[in-house]
Chains A and B, each alone.
Chain A
Amino acid sequence: MSSHPGLWLIAAAALLAVLRGWPRAAVALIVPLIALGLAWQAEEGRHWSARFLDLEVVPFAVDRLSRLFAIIFSLMAFAGALFALNQERRLELPAAFLYAGSALGVALAGDLLTVFVFWEVMAIGSTLVLWSAATPAAYRASMRYLMVHLFGGMLLFAGVAGHVLETGTTVFEAMQLDTPWQVLILAAFLVNAAAWPLSAWLPDAYPEASWSGMVFLSAFTTKTAVYVLLRGFPGTDLLIYAGLAMVFYGIVYALLENDMRRILAYSIVNQVGFMVTGIGIGTEMALNGAASHAFTHILYKALLLMSAGSVLLVTGKRKCTDLGGLFRTMPLTAACGIIGALAISSFPLTSGFVSKSMISQAAGDEHLFVVWMLLAAATAGVFLHAGIKFPWFVFFQKDSGLRPSEPPWNMRAAMVLVSALCIGLGIFYEPLYRLLPYAVDYEPYTGFHVVAQLQLLLFSGLAFFVMLGWLRRTLTITLDVDWLYRVLFAAIAVRLGDALGRAIGASEAGAAKAWSGVAARARALHGPRGAFGRTWPSGAMGFGVMAMLLAFLLSYYFF
Chain B
Amino acid sequence: MSDHWLTRPSTIRRLWQILIAVLVLTVLAEFVIEAHPHFAVERIFASYAMYGFVACAALILVAKALGLVLKRRDSYYDE
Contacts and interface: CB of A to CB of B under 8 A. Distances in A.
B13 interface: no
A224 to B, nearest CB: 28
Given A256-B63, A377-B55, A381-B56, A448 B36 contact: yes
Nearest to B41: A373
Chain A interface size, as a band, is 35 or more
A399 interface: yes
A324 B63 CA distance: 23
Dominant secondary structure at the A interface: helix
A535 interface: no
A93 B46 CA distance: 50
Interface string B28-55: 0110011111110110001011111101
Given A256-B66, A447-B33, A463 B56 contact: yes
Contacts, number: 143
Given A455-B46, A456-B49, A328 B4 contact: yes
Interface string A426-455: 000000000000000000001110011111
Given A380-B55, A476-B73, A399 B60 contact: no
A476 B26 contact: no
Contact of A372 (B6, B34, B39, B49): B39
A475 B1 contact: no
B67 interface: yes
Interface stretch (A171-179, A466-474, A543-551): A466-474
Interface of A: 248, 251-253, 255-256, 258-259, 319, 327-328, 364-365, 367, 369, 372-373, 376-377, 380-381, 383-384, 396, 399, 403, 446-448, 451-465, 467, 470-471, 474-480, 486-487
27 contacts: A251-B59, A253-B63, A327-B6, A372-B39, A376-B55, A377-B55, A377-B58, A377-B59, A380-B56, A381-B55, A447-B29, A447-B33, A451-B26, A455-B49, A459-B49, A459-B50, A460-B56, A462-B19, A467-B60, A470-B64, A471-B60, A474-B71, A476-B67, A477-B72, A477-B74, A477-B77, A478-B66
